[in-house]
Amino acid sequence: MFNETENDLKENLHQERKENQENRKELRQSRARNRAKNVVIAILLVTTLFGAYQYNRAVMLRRKLDNAYNRAFYELVGYVQNVELMLMKARMTSSPELTATTLNDVWREATAATSNLNQLPISMGVLTNTEKFLSQVADLSRTIAKQNSYGIPINDEQMETLAKLHTFAVTLEESLSDLQSDLNNGNLKWEKVANEKMEEESTTDSTDQQEENTTAVAKETNNKKNGAGNTNDNTKSKDANGANNGSEADKEMQEANEKLPNTFSSINEGFEEMPTLIYDGPYSEHLQNRKALGLTGEKITEEQAIEKLKNFIKDNRIKNISKLADNNNGIINTYNFKMDIEENGNKNVAEADVSVIGGHIVWFLYNREVGEAKIDIEEAIKIGKKFLSDRGYPDMKDSYYLRNDGVATINYAYTKDGITYYPDLIKVKVALDNGEIVGFESNGYLMNHRDRNLGAPQITQAQAREKIKRGDRVSESGLAVIPTDYGSEILCYEFTGKLGDRDFLVYINANTGAEEDVLIIINSEEGILTR
């Protein structure tokens, strides 16, 4: 009996332990489930809070962007209005002084308008002509203002150009006024404008990709287009099929999206008939469409270019000439060659560019070790001048030079009938150890050289000398053609003089008497340069 009681007790104890284990297990599982729920709830809470934060942040950024775009647009409208008014005022003024002041104001306002236009989220292709118009108005106004500051009044041709520009300014002002009304009425949304910009860029990339597809793929694409239409047609089709389910708000939004690009594009289209402006400024047509005026002859082959190079270098040490590349990314297309040179058992390399048109040597460079100088700069200048004369450049005058690492780099300018043409520049490198020509560059000459019809100067040299009020020992150097910063040229009288211990050059316009430029001559151990 005692044994039965003991067994029952053990069984009860075992059962109790088992129940306790199951209870603990269930408790652990419950706690685990609770922890999982808490984690999920925490994640959802954090996600919700983060999403709300991001949404609010996006809304704030959107508002900041909209405010920035609004500010740029309203300032653009104001600047364009000022441009229109000041162009009208410039047409009415008679005194050169007031005209210069007014046109300087036009320049500032048009420049500011261009800056604000570029701050708007509009695709570069949409307002290309508009931006060009504003840039040219600013540039031309500054050019004429500079002319007027010399006391030279506007001529009839310039006045006619200002009248045309004023007409376009009125058109731009009216178009921007319409857009301003849309902005005030809520019809113009900068977010839509930005989306339109991204869609246009995406369409451009897609178009480029389609041009590379095969005919079969193109046909398949056309079939798809026939079935679904283009993007806008597809959208319209979906709207039509789902008209019963769609909302009027969606349709209105679509119509606004379709109208918006046309509104901005219409501004650009209004300037397609803008006249070509030729003047002395960075946005002038003549500068943006520059050609190499000194590039003469027919197109040559690679083999012909090699022969041209051999005849120019005239060096028996050249053992091999091989083409490295075709340089077709500039105004002057060239063949680029490598030349293997052997001398006293040493092998060196030189490079050169030969123009595809005419086979002109654009440059060559032979980098070798240069020994101790044995010839002076005067002898080097003579060597360089003879080198040019022997190769078809007989009328070249040395101007300035720089001596560095045993090599003299000498500038030679073209001369004719007593006039020095500084744009027609050739640089020659002479090694001072033995007088060898180790470099040549004719880019300035090839870009600018041609027969010029300058006409006779309108003032005398004595009258030009009277314009110089400063300096000692001022003397005449003759007539010279100098380049402007914007690709044009001016016929000037060139004078040299001293101010204190410094030498200088003064260039007086041979037609207007205006002081065009002053250069300081810098004499140093390295050479003679100007600044």
CA distance 506 to 461: 13
Which pair of structure tokens corresponds to residue 207?
């178009």
Q: What is the pLDDT of residue 531?
A: 61
| Contacts of 524 by beta carbon, 8 Å cutoff, 6+ apart | none
Cα–Cα distance list, 190 to 70, 79, 102, 123, 148 (Å): 9, 20, 34, 12, 42
| pLDDT exceeds 90 at position 119 | no
Last residue of a domain, one of 427, 448, 469: 448
Q: Is 15 inside a domain boundary?
A: no
Supply angle C-alpha 92, 93, 95, rounded to 5: 155
| Residues 166 and 87 sit within 8 Å (Cβ to Cβ) | yes
Torsion, Cα of 390, 395, 396, 397 (10° steps): 130
How are beta strands 472-483 and 419-431 bridged, if at all?
parallel
| pLDDT exceeds 60 at position 263 | no
| pLDDT exceeds 50 at position 230 | no
Q: Is 333 inside a domain boundary?
A: yes
| Residue 94's pLDDT band (cuts 50, 70, 90) | confident
- Is there a single domain that holds both residue 273 and residue 406? no
- Is there a single domain that holds both residue 316 and residue 428? yes
- Is there a single domain that holds both residue 412 and residue 521? no
Which pair of structure tokens corresponds to residue 318?
């050249």
Quote the DSSP letter at residue 358. T
Provide the b/e sequence for 242-258 (b: ≥16 CB within 10 Å).
eeeeeeeeeeeebeebe
CA distance 61 to 55: 10
Q: What is the pLDDT of residue 63?
A: 73
Give the count of alpha carbons within 13 A of 204, CB side only.
Answer: 10
| Contacts of 146 by beta carbon, 8 Å cutoff, 6+ apart | 100
Give the count of alpha carbons within 13 A of 248, CB side only.
Answer: 0
| Residue 156's pLDDT band (cuts 50, 70, 90) | confident
Question: How many domains is the chain partitioned into structurally?
Answer: 3
Provide the b/e sequence for 167-181 (b: ≥16 CB within 10 Å).
ebbeebbebbeebee
| Contacts of 303 by beta carbon, 8 Å cutoff, 6+ apart | none
- Is there a single domain that holds both residue 348 and residue 408? yes
Cα–Cα distance list, 396 to 127, 133, 380, 385, 420 (Å): 47, 41, 14, 7, 9
- Is there a single domain that holds both residue 259 and residue 366? no
Q: What is the pLDDT of residue 441?
A: 94
Least confident of 158-162, 341-345, 359-363: 341-345
| pLDDT exceeds 60 at position 236 | no
Q: Which residues pair with 321 in a beta bridge?
A: 339
| pLDDT exceeds 50 at position 359 | yes
Least confident of 260-274, 282-296, 381-395: 260-274
- Is there a single domain that holds both residue 442 and residue 466? no
144 closest CA partner among 156, 133, 132:
156
Percent with pLDDT over 90 in the chain: 34
Query: Which residue has 């030679």 as its token pair?
Result: 412
- Is there a single domain that holds both residue 258 and residue 405? no
Which pair of structure tokens corresponds to residue 396?
């070249």
How are beta strands 472-483 and 396-404 bridged, if at all?
unpaired
Percent with pLDDT over 70 in the chain: 75
Q: What is the pLDDT of residue 342?
A: 84
Residue 512 belongs to domain with CATH number: 3.10.450
What φ, ψ does residue 144 adopt, rounded to 5°? -70, -35
**Residue, of 298 and 227, whose pLDDT is higher:** 298
Q: For the segment 307-343, what is each residue's pLDDT rounded down to a tens digit?
A: 999 999 888 888 899 999 988 867 899 999 999 988 7
Q: Is 200 inside a domain boundary?
A: yes
Q: For the segment 415-427, what is each residue's pLDDT rounded down to a tens digit?
A: 999 999 999 999 9
CA distance 57 to 52: 8
Q: What is the mean pLDDT of the chain?
A: 79
| pLDDT exceeds 50 at position 267 | yes
Which pair of structure tokens corresponds to residue 527?
């050479």
CA distance 393 to 385: 9
Which pair of structure tokens corresponds to residue 523?
């004499």
- Is there a single domain that holds both residue 347 and residue 475? no
Q: Is 236 inside a domain boundary?
A: no
CA distance 138 to 136: 5
- Is there a single domain that holds both residue 316 and residue 432? yes
Q: For the segment 35-67, what is each residue's pLDDT rounded down to a tens digit?
A: 777 777 878 887 887 777 676 776 677 677 778
**Residue, of 282 and 112, whose pLDDT is higher:** 112
Q: What is the mean pLDDT of residues 346-369?
A: 92
Which pair of structure tokens corresponds to residue 91?
């047409």
Radius of gyration of the chain (CA): 38
Last residue of a domain, one of 232, 258, 287: 287
Supply angle C-alpha 364, 365, 368, rounded to 5: 150
| Residue 10's pLDDT band (cuts 50, 70, 90) | low
Which pair of structure tokens corresponds to residue 255?
């119509």
Concatenate the DSSP letters of all residues of 228-284 into one string. H-SHHHHHHHHHHHTTTTS-HHHHHHHHHHHHHHHHHHHHHHTTTTPPP--SSSTT-
| Residues 314 and 325 sit within 8 Å (Cβ to Cβ) | no
Q: What is the mean pLDDT of residues 441-468?
A: 93
pTM above 0.85, yes or no: no
- Is there a single domain that holds both residue 176 and residue 283? yes
Last residue of a domain, one of 414, 448, 482: 448
Least confident of 19-23, 385-389, 480-484: 19-23
Q: For the segment 15-37, what is each residue's pLDDT rounded down to a tens digit?
A: 766 666 776 777 777 777 777 77
Q: What is the pLDDT of residue 530?
A: 76
Cα–Cα distance list, 315 to 126, 340, 382, 438 (Å): 56, 11, 20, 11
| Sign of the dihedral defined by the CA atoms of residues 277, 281, 287, 288, in that order | negative
| pLDDT exceeds 80 at position 306 | yes
Which range marks the domain in which residue 317 is found?
Answer: 302-448
| Residues 381 and 401 sit within 8 Å (Cβ to Cβ) | yes
- Is there a single domain that holds both residue 386 and residue 335? yes
CA distance 8 to 3: 9
Q: Is 52 inside a domain boundary?
A: no
Q: Which residues pair with 347 in a beta bridge?
A: 342
Q: Is 501 inside a domain boundary?
A: yes
* Helix runs in 93-155, H state only: 96-117, 128-149
Q: Is 19 inside a domain boundary?
A: no
Torsion, Cα of 187, 192, 194, 195 (10° steps): -160
| pLDDT exceeds 60 at position 92 | yes
Q: Is 432 inside a domain boundary?
A: yes
- Is there a single domain that holds both residue 206 and residue 144? yes
Q: For the segment 175-210, what is each residue's pLDDT rounded down to a tens digit?
A: 888 888 888 887 777 777 766 656 655 555 554 455
CA distance 172 to 277: 18
Q: What is the pLDDT of residue 188?
A: 73
